[in-house]
Structure 1
Amino acid sequence: MSKNLVIVESPAKAKTIEGYLGEDFTVKSSFGHVRDLPKDNNAIDIANGFRPTYEISEDKKEVVAQLKKLAKEAELIWLATDDDREGEAISWHLKEALNLKDNVIRRIVFREITKNAILNAIKSPRTIDIDLVNAQQARRILDRIVGFELSPVLWKKIKMGLSAGRVQSVAVRLIVEREREIEGFASKSSYKISALFDLGKGKTLTAELPEKFNTEPEARSFLERCVEAAFSIKNLETKPAKKSPAAPFTTSTLQQEASRKLYFSVSQTMTIAQKLYEAGKISYMRTDSTILSEEAIQKAKAEIESAFGKEYVQVRQYKTKSESAQEAHEAIRPTDFSAQKVNGDRNEQRLYELIWKRAIASQMADARLERTTATIAIKPAAATNVESAQLNNAGELKEQLVATGEVIKFDGFLKVYIESSDNEEDDEDSKGMLPPLNIGQALNLNHMSATQRFSRPAPRYTEASLVKKLEEMGIGRPSTYAPTISTIIKRGYVVKEDREGKERPYRELILKQDKINETTLKEITGAEKAKLFPEDIAMIVNDFLVQHFPNVVDYSFTATVEKEFDEIAQGRKEWVNMLEGFYDGFHKRIENTQEIQRSSVGKSRELGTHPETGEKVSVRLGKFGPVAQIGEAEGDKKPLYASLKKGQMMERITLEDALELFKLPREAGSFEGKPMTVAVGRFGPYVKHDNKFYSLGKEDDPFVLTEARANEIIINKRKSDSEKFIKEFTENPDVKVLNGRFGPYISIGKQNIKIPKDKDPKNLTLEECLNLAKTTPEKKGKGKFPVKKKK
């Protein structure tokens, strides 16, 4: 048996490390945490200093037993878990669970899984940092207390199954407040002036008026002043400029950029990054530091010199913005700058390439640019009715058009990498070159337009922009962003989806050949892609927490708690004192909720009365989601209910909108002499005909579905069914010959049987089908381990 046992968290990490150490070392995985707080209310003894009770997880008992056996046979146990609070806590739990004595433990840390990093770590072991462990314990205990004490309050006052959390509830609040900000936003229109000039020989120049006009009459008046006007280059100004590269990736900037460039979700980014780290391809992926080690900088410099030349090198060290960042840690970077590819799937290669480019670019020279601004004077025709106050001393309009262009003189880091932005307007990295121009040059106007544009509210959050906001506010840490977002989506507070925009008319005035033409055009506005939308339950729970537990969802308070965790990690604060300071006020508020009447929580909203019956119309939170209701339960009389449409919110729906919902079920004509009924069921909208159900497509609105479209849905479904069924047997209805995704097959109950190539599916007999079923072994479930019998 090896003298040394190395324990890490994951099998992939173990496999990589084992290749770097000699035969005196055995490397095993703990598969993450081996102990945790039990799921009952007895996990934390609050009265006795918040003392936690830990237990070995059921699925880890065998792992712990194997590690105990190996630890007894080894002389030294090297705890090589991740270099952060969570990793430190895993090492401490391993020590406790395996009953290890201090004299046999060696704690080693590294920020990348390379041979040098591992061997250097072996040379400089340390003890377990109990301050880091306490910071992790404090976070875990505080979050457990909030969840276990606050969630039951939500069950009693709002709805069963709800949950609350210190960071998740703040994230939900951000999304709810942004939604209300968007809903309350009053869009204002303005008119943007742009002009296109013909310069001859196929060359053109585009210019804009820097100011916008608030009204159409103002925009029209400006165009009228430009009728038969003379246009010329008034001034040309050329200035040198530069662009500097962004810092290497932190966890949050990697999540943001992978979302923008690769369309990865936050959790997907972290899963792929974990694989790259464990394979020894990148440094540790949970970090808020932008620092690169001197060794990494020198390797990046060598790669840049080799690939691009010395003039492309510009060594930098970035200062981390986050106050809590651990400067001893590094930014996310490749472990080998000379490797531009990795052995992995397509997404691993794409993310690695992004990390490589960002890290390399950070040590490359600034891009040198030349920005040219051309100012265009407008001299009205003598016959134009222009007031003297609108002219300058030269007899030109005071308004001047401006054309801007950009020339890259030296590409520098742009040769490798261009950073993306959440703002589409900021993503125009180059404005293009201007054609050759001279001061005094006369310009020939092709056309000038005044286009109506509308102000837009702040955008809804994407996963990446929510991470950015949380980081800016000091809420959460690199390890918490992905699980926080996953939790609020999983709990049903937030939905991540695309939504179609709405058609909106806009006005455009065009001056061409000295005539002004006007037109009304249409554009799609408000289309959303992969945005986070709050559900009704998020609105209700958020309002309840803001009213009754303001500190839990207070932004500055939540950020302060994070700083206190940092102080515990640095040994500057006692974790028990920190928890006591939070708990006393929090628990008093929990006790005070006994006085809150369930009926006072805003779970329903009265909309008005039914115009025909005079009954009350309202919306409320039902068992399966928000519903509209007509009438009240009185004796045998029951109210009518209708589910809200997707995208309808309880706090925004009108009486008219609610009454529309009760138009279903409705008759949509007939087919083959039998009526068709359109309704919405548990699995969505459908057409019912002759006791058979036909699902509507995503593009179909059940409220306006026509008879012709309903007929089409039925015919299409019948056709697809007829194409699916190749053969059936009346003597045994369970046996069917079907057309599947991968070709014809036999279906008998839950068993699917492949048809041999020499058999014609149409000519199969019942006997042949049954014989093929007998000779085809049933498939075993994938990825399942046999269940061990208890002794």
Structure 2
Amino acid sequence: MGKSLLIVESPTKARTLSRYLGDRFDIRASVGHVKDLPANELGINIENKFEPHYQVIKGKEKVIRELKKAAAQADSIYLAPDPDREGEAIAWHIAEELRSSQKEIYRVLFNELTRNAIENALKQPGELHQQKFEAQLARRLLDRLVGYQISPILWDKISRGLSAGRVQSVTLRLICEREHEILAFDSEEYWTITALLEGEVKPQIEARLWGKAGKKVKIVNQEQASALVTVLEQASYQVEKVEKKKRTRSPAPPFITSTLQQEAARKLRYNAQRTMAIAQRLYEGVELGKEGAVGLITYMRTDSPRLAKEAVTGARTWIRDNLGTEYVPKKAPVYRSRKGTQDAHEAIRPTSVTRPPEQMAASLKKDELALYELIWKRFVASQMSPAQLDQTIMHIAAGELMLRASGTVLRFPGFMQIYIEGSDNGEGGLEEGPKLPDLEEGKSLKLVKVEPKQHFTQPPPRFTEASLIRELEEKGIGRPSTYASIMQVIQKKEYTIKEKRRFKPTELGMLVNDLLVANFPEVLNVAFTAQMEAKLDQVETGNQGWLQVIEDFYQQFHQAVERAQTEMIDVKREGLPTELDCEKCGKKMHIRWGKNGLFLSCSGYPTCKNSKNFARDSKGKIQAAAEGDVRGTCELCSRDMVAKNGRFGPFLACTGYPECKNTRSLQNEKGEEKEKTVQYTDEVCDKCDGRFVIRKSRQGISFLACENYPRCRNTRPIGTGVACPQTECDGELVERASKRGKRFYGCTRYPKCRFISWSRPVDKGCPTCGNAYLVIRSSKGEEYLACPEKTCGYKENPSTND
């Protein structure tokens, strides 16, 4: 009797399964998707009921051949990609390729990679889930239609390389709208007044002014604050009322995909992509010494906080044995899912609570351990007793004025003993406030000092990854499994940048968003996008057909595409109109796109070639950037050189542009602004007889360039004076940079000679072994000369090399 074929999508997952199943199955990995829509065309036959043209992904032909060969020799086939829509699509496409083997094909779902879970899944295999595949198909076609039909319009109207996406563009809209809120925000002044008081017993009391004659006081300026301070300094103080309350704080539910991404961003500063990559490794299996590969967490793409009974029982037992019975609630907490949640998988949790993080430290990488600890602690804490706090609010009278002081004492830590949830504003902790003295009502207090403090209202903050994920989830936009790629794309396309770990839209991002919102209001409507997600969920549950969803969407979308092709503002050719006047000809200035990004250009171009950079004032209004400082004279035409900003940072440009295109960089190797005077050499260009000058590349590598650039583009590397040590090579070692910007020294005869040195060579032979050259190395900030030969340990101080 032959073996059955078990196919998963990951080699790591295959190794973990092999540990448990031994040689009972022939386990193979598809290494992700095997089919997809073509990369260089739409791949959808719109006229023929949106028929998709799937094709084998380049490089996967060999994988499919091997799977077909294995299937021909197998008794039956078990498809076990991840238990979500993407996994179902992988399984479906593999099944299409293997049906010719005429073997029974089963679908198995592994929520966790443990022996019991694997054996149970294999004992109860199911069939391929057609509705789940169709939900993935509908999403894929919708995303392809939006991306492949809107993006070319952006290429034509703005610049090639830009992209739009059904969820990506709505996410960008949220970021841009938040930026508009910030720019439109008018900050208002307000004051707080705090009185430091003391009674018969310590500690002192910090009480804040709350009201006057029973009404809340709003202090809007210094004059009002000073008048109230005067009254408080002359007043007598008395405890009027003391409120004592007992509060409880319940634990947060175990992680789902979105909350894991949020918490990892807050506590570990991991972006969503990194979080999901680490979680995937923990799910698929990590080598644990003699145990071999073990899956440490359950499946990490889920939106349900549901937990298996065995997991709850295990957690309660661990808590009782390690913390005490008082930390185990009488009834295990049950957490409800959000409305519309697909409850296919349980929450993200450790596969065994008996593997605490400290025991895993030797087997996990630093980032894996940090994320595992987060998941383990959150799960255990979710099954613990609530925290109990005593809160005291003291009302203090000062004549007509009323002050309040509050304090919180943690009476029983409960789940906080293990884990406390983070917050987007960086706050968190045991919620203990200042302790208040035990004073009875009617007791007099003595004033120590009064402190007024000025404040200003703050605009809403920009989104962090955590707060943006929460916003997307709350509005029903996209799915948590897609958030990581969305965050990556909006930064890669330079639509947003991160400042202090918060998303800020770039000028390009604002421009693209404005054009898309104006021309595709339905597609970029937040409510519409959320409604579309709900329809995809209905496709998965079988309550709606995938084709009907596509047809309903495309009818309006196609009309919007046709309008945008003719009506969208052509930024590339015409520019985006502004209210600014050209100081040279009086016509309006337009925003255009050039190789260095967006800039202001006269609408009279090419008759008037006036152009300049622009900036935004505090309210976001466009204004011409101030002309840069004059910093010397152009060595080519004797006009002034002025400072400007370009795509690669600050630089000097000749005021004679476009007749004279001379420029100089203003950045040093660290990216700091620093003017670099042109260094002329005695070497003559062999193409135009001009003189060579020393320039620097983007990687900071010095090289020789002709002074007549851009008319003459002749360049030459600067040699180190060290001959190439390779036998029968007459080249010289020169400084170069790798694709990643790392410096090395290679031969001028490359590619014929591929010698490289990662340390700078010096033209001095080794007195010990006779090697032709030495290299400069460093240790603890001190440089020294050393022989590059591994068998020779010669070293010397560079100062002796005179």
Does TM, scored on the shorter chain, surpass 0.5? yes
Q: Distance in 1 between matches of 2:447 and 2:565?
A: 74
Change (3 A) 1:665 1:290: farther
Question: Pick from 241, 249, 267: which aligns with 1:243?
Answer: 249
Stretches of structure 2 lacking an aligned partner (at least 5 in a row): 211-216, 286-294, 655-661, 678-694, 696-700, 703-717, 725-729, 737-742, 749-753, 776-785, 791-802
Q: Which residue of 2 aligns with 1:552?
A: 523
**Cα deviation code 1:65-123 (max 9, x no counterpart):** 11111111111211111111111111111111233567521211021111110000011
* Residue pair 1:536, 1:650 contacting (<8 A) in 2 also: no
- Mapping for residues 751-766 of structure 1, pairs under 5 Å: 751-753=755-757
SS of the equivalent of 1:48 reads: coil
- Mapping for residues 382-401 of structure 1, pairs under 5 Å: 396-397=399-400, 399-401=401-403
Within the alignment, does 1:446 sit opposite 2:448 as a pair? Answer: yes
Within the alignment, does 1:276 sit opposite 2:282 as a pair? Answer: yes
Q: Distance in 2 between matches of 1:582 and 1:373?
A: 56
Change (3 A) 1:407 1:676: same
Question: Pick from 367, 376, 380: which aligns with 1:347?
Answer: 367
Counterpart residue identity of residue 756, structure 2: N
Change (3 A) 1:634 1:620: closer
Q: Distance in 2 between matches of 1:688 and 1:542?
A: 32
Within the alignment, does 1:330 sit opposite 2:343 as a pair? Answer: no
Counterpart residue identity of residue 348, structure 1: E
Stretches of structure 1 lacking an aligned partner (at least 5 in a row): 379-395, 499-528, 708-713, 715-719, 739-743, 777-791
- Cα drift, residue 626 of structure 1: 1.2
SS of the equivalent of 1:480 reads: helix
Counterpart residue identity of residue 649, structure 2: G
Q: Which residue of 1 aligns with 2:732?
A: 734
Q: Distance in 2 between matches of 1:252 and 1:228?
A: 55
Counterpart residue identity of residue 108, structure 1: V
SS of the equivalent of 1:32 reads: coil
Q: Distance in 2 between matches of 1:579 and 1:688?
A: 53
Counterpart residue identity of residue 133, structure 1: F
Q: Hey, which of these two has a bigger chunk of helix by percent?
A: 1
- Cα drift, residue 298 of structure 1: 0.5
Q: Which residue of 2 aligns with 1:639?
A: 609
Q: How many residues align?
A: 700
Within the alignment, does 1:308 sit opposite 2:323 as a pair? Answer: yes
* Residue pair 2:239, 2:396 contacting (<8 A) in 1 also: yes
Taking only aligned residues, the RMSD between alpha carbons, in angstroms, comes to 4.0
**Cα deviation code 1:381-439 (max 9, x no counterpart):** xxxxxxxxxxxxxxx22x21111111111111010111111235677722142234343
SS of the equivalent of 1:5 reads: strand
* Residue pair 1:11, 1:29 contacting (<8 A) in 2 also: yes
- Cα drift, residue 309 of structure 1: 1.1
SS of the equivalent of 1:400 reads: strand
Question: Pick from 618, 631, 637: which aligns with 1:666?
Answer: 631
- Mapping for residues 50-65 of structure 1, pairs under 5 Å: 50-65=50-65
Q: Which residue of 2 aligns with 1:466?
A: 468
* Residue pair 2:257, 2:302 contacting (<8 A) in 1 also: yes
Q: Which residue of 1 aligns with 2:417?
A: 415
Q: Which residue of 2 aligns with 1:175?
A: 175
- Cα drift, residue 289 of structure 1: 0.4
Change (3 A) 1:751 1:694: farther
SS of the equivalent of 1:326 reads: coil
**Cα deviation code 1:12-64 (max 9, x no counterpart):** 11111110103121221111100111124361112222111111111211111
Normalising by structure 1, what TM-score? Answer: 0.80
Q: Which residue of 2 aligns with 1:370?
A: 390
Q: Which residue of 2 aligns with 1:85?
A: 85
Q: Which residue of 2 aligns with 1:259?
A: 265
**Cα deviation code 1:260-285 (max 9, x no counterpart):** 11111111111111111111100111
Change (3 A) 1:369 1:27: same
Change (3 A) 1:149 1:747: closer
Change (3 A) 1:730 1:319: closer
Q: Which residue of 2 aligns with 1:296?
A: 311
- Mapping for residues 551-700 of structure 1, pairs under 5 Å: 551-596=522-567, 598-599=569-570, 603-609=575-581, 617-629=589-601, 632-635=604-607, 639-644=609-614, 648=616, 652-655=620-623, 658-660=624-626, 662-663=627-628, 666-667=631-632, 678-680=643-645, 682-686=647-651, 695-696=667-668
Q: Distance in 1 between matches of 2:166 and 2:772?
A: 63
SS of the equivalent of 1:179 reads: helix
Q: Distance in 1 between matches of 2:630 and 2:313?
A: 71
Normalising by structure 2, what TM-score? Answer: 0.79
**Cα deviation code 1:659-703 (max 9, x no counterpart):** 41x325633999xxxx9975545532257999985625889668x
* Residue pair 1:111, 1:329 contacting (<8 A) in 2 also: yes
* Residue pair 2:202, 2:437 contacting (<8 A) in 1 also: no
Change (3 A) 1:669 1:706: farther
Q: Distance in 2 between matches of 1:774 and 1:352?
A: 43
Q: Distance in 1 between matches of 2:109 and 2:427?
A: 43
**Cα deviation code 1:290-340 (max 9, x no counterpart):** 111111100111111111011101243444342221224111100011111
- Mapping for residues 192-207 of structure 1, pairs under 5 Å: 192-198=192-198, 203-207=203-207
* Residue pair 2:113, 2:283 contacting (<8 A) in 1 also: yes
SS of the equivalent of 1:223 reads: helix
Q: Which residue of 2 aligns with 1:10?
A: 10
Q: Distance in 2 between matches of 1:368 and 1:304?
A: 18
- Cα drift, residue 611 of structure 1: 6.1
* Residue pair 1:303, 1:338 contacting (<8 A) in 2 also: yes
Q: Distance in 2 between matches of 1:347 and 1:600?
A: 44
- Mapping for residues 144-183 of structure 1, pairs under 5 Å: 144-183=144-183
SS of the equivalent of 1:621 reads: strand
Change (3 A) 1:698 1:728: closer
Q: Distance in 1 between matches of 2:745 and 2:235?
A: 80
Counterpart residue identity of residue 478, structure 1: P
Q: Distance in 1 between matches of 2:594 and 2:552?
A: 38
- Cα drift, residue 547 of structure 1: 2.3
SS of the equivalent of 2:59 reads: helix
* Residue pair 2:584, 2:610 contacting (<8 A) in 1 also: no
- Mapping for residues 351-362 of structure 1, pairs under 5 Å: 351-362=371-382
SS of the equivalent of 1:608 reads: strand
Counterpart residue identity of residue 584, structure 1: Q
- Cα drift, residue 766 of structure 1: 11
Q: Distance in 2 between matches of 1:223 and 1:774?
A: 75
* Residue pair 2:577, 2:588 contacting (<8 A) in 1 also: no
* Residue pair 2:386, 2:414 contacting (<8 A) in 1 also: yes
Change (3 A) 1:676 1:137: closer
Change (3 A) 1:137 1:111: same
Counterpart residue identity of residue 30, structure 1: S
Change (3 A) 1:747 1:770: farther
Q: Distance in 2 between matches of 1:751 and 1:302?
A: 63
